[in-house]
C-alpha cells in the first residue's frame, strides 16, 4: 500500500525490541533509514531484532528511559523519535502501579527532555485508547474522553498532557497516536500479561480452551500492526500544520466482540489443523479496569494525515495466524 514513508532519516525507536517497536525497526530499515533502537529488555525480546544486528544501519543501545543519561545518549543526531517504550497492560498496572508510573510517566518525561535538548525535528509517541476511560460515547472521538479506569490509563493520559505542555512551552513538534488493541506478528503469547490474540492462538494450537473474561460480548477495535506502521509513518512525515500537537486514533473503525474474534481465530487455525475446530471456549469473571466496548472514529486521521487502513480484522487475523503457525511450531520443535 502506498503512503508517505520516512526515508533517509536517523530515527530513534524507544522500546525497539518490543512488538510494535521491532516491526517499526524493520520497516524503517527497509526504507533506507538509520535506526537507533533503545531497549532495556524488561518486556522487549532480543529475538525480535536479532536479524537486524548485522545491519550497518542498525544500532542497539541497551538502556532505560528511566535514566535521563541513557535518553540523552540515544538522542544524539536523531531526526525523528518514535517513542514506543512503555509498560503496557491494565492488569499489570493494577498489580504494580508504582513501576508503571515510573516507566510510563517518568520515562516519557525523560524522552521529552532529551528530545527537546537534542532539537529533534519530530517526535511521535504511542498513546492509548485507555485514555477514553469511562466515556460511553461510540465511536470514540479524540476530543471526548472520560475518567481513567486503571493506573495504566492514568499514565497514558498524563503523557498526552506532558506532550501538550512541551508543545506550547518549547515549541516541540509532537504527535500522539492512540493505539486500539494492536495485534500481529512478533506479539508475544507468553507471560501473565500477554495480549489476548496471541494468547488465544497459542491456546488453540495446544488444544486448550481460551479463557474469555466475561461473557464474550465485550467488543474491541482490533488493529493490525501494518495499520500502526502506516500511522507512525504518516505522523512522522506529514507537512500538515494542523497535525502538530494533536493525538490521533490508530484503529480500523470497526468493532468485534470477543466471541466473534475467537471464532475467527478458530476458523483460520482450522485450515492448518482441523482438530482445532472442536476446541471449546472457557469463560471467567470480568477483569478490573476493562472497558466494555471500544470503537474508534478514524475520521481525524483520514482527513488530516491521509490514513487508510490496509487491513481489517479478517485480513489481519489471517496474516497473524499464518505467522504464528509457522513461528510457534518452529519454536516448539526446537525445544
Directed axis angle between helix 258-270 and helix 196-205, to 10°? Answer: 40
Distance of CA 199 to the CA centre of its chain: 16
HSE (side-chain half, CA atoms, 13 Å) at 319: 15
Q: Give the three cell numbers for residue 83.
A: 517513542
Q: Which residues are catalytic?
A: 152
DSSP state of 322: H
DSSP string, 118-150: TT-SEEEEEEEGGGGTT---SSB-TT-----SS
CA dist 50 and 33 (Å) reads: 18
Do the bridges between strand 10-14 and strand 247-250 make them parallel or antiparallel, or are there none, so unpaired? unpaired
First to last CA, the chain: 37
Distance, in Å, from the CA atom of 127 to the CA atom of 47, rounded to the nearest integer, reads 25
Return the exposure string of 122-161: e unless at least 16 CB atoms fall within 10 Å of the residue's CB, then b: bbbbbbbbbbbbeeeeebbebeebeebbbbbbbbbbbbbe
Contacts 24+ apart (CB under 8 A), 202-208: 202/324, 202/328, 203/279, 204/265, 204/266, 204/269, 204/276, 204/279, 205/269, 205/273, 205/276, 205/324, 205/325, 205/328, 205/329, 207/275, 207/276, 207/279, 208/279
Amino acid at each position: 500500500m502506498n503512503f508517505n514513508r520516512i526515508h533517509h532519516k536517523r530515527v530513534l525507536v524507544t522500546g525497539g525490541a518490543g512488538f510494535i517497536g521491532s516491526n517499526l525497526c524493520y520497516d524503517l530499515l527497509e526504507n533506507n533509514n538509520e535506526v537507533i533502537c533503545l531497549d532495556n529488555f524488561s518486556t522487549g525480546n532480543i529475538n525480535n531484532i536479532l536479524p537486524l544486528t548485522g545491519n550497518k544501519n542498525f544500532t542497539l543501545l541497551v538502556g532505560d528511559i528511566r535514566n535521563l543519561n541513557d535518553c540523552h545518549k540515544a538522542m544524539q543526531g536523531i531526526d525523528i523519535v518514535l517513542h514506543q517504550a512503555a509498560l503496557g497492560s491494565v492488569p499489570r498496572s493494577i498489580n504494580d502501579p508504582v513501576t508503571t508510573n515510573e516507566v510510563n510517566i517518568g520515562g516519557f518525561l525523560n524522552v521529552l527532555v532529551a528530545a527537546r535538548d537534542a532539537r529533534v525535528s519530530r517526535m511521535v509517541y504511542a498513546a492509548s485508547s485507555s485514555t477514553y476511560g469511562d466515556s460511553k460515547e461510540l465511536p470514540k472521538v479524540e476530543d471526548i474522553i472520560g475518567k481513567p479506569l486503571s493506573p495504566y490509563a492514568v499514565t497514558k493520559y498524563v503523557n498526552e498532557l506532558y506532550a501538550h505542555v512541551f508543545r506550547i512551552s518549547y515549541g516541540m513538534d509532537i504527535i500522539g497516536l492512540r493505539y486500539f488493541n494492536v495485534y500481529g506478528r512478533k506479539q508475544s503469547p507468553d507471560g501473565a500479561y500477554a495480549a489476548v490474540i496471541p494468547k488465544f492462538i497459542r491456546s488453540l494450537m495446544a488444544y486448550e480452551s481460551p479463557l474469555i473474561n466475561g461473557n464474550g460480548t465485550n467488543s474491541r477495535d482490533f488493529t493490525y500492526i501494518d495499520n500502526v506502521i502506516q500511522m507512525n509513518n504518516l505522523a512522522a512525515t506529514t507537512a500538515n500544520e494542523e497535525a502538530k500537537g494533536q493525538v490521533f486514533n490508530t484503529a480500523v473503525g470497526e468493532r468485534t466482540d470477543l466471541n466473534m474474534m475467537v471464532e475467527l481465530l478458530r476458523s483460520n487455525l482450522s485450515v492448518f489443523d482441523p482438530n482445532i475446530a472442536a476446541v471449546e471456549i472457557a469463560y471467567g469473571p470480568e477483569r478490573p479496569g476493562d472497558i466494555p466496548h471500544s470503537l474508534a472514529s478514524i475520521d481525524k486521521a483520514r482527513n488530516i494525515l491521509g490514513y487508510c487502513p490496509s487491513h481489517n480484522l479478517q485480513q489481519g487475523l489471517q496474516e497473524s495466524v499464518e505467522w504464528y503457525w509457522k513461528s510457534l511450531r518452529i519454536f516448539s520443535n526446537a525445544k
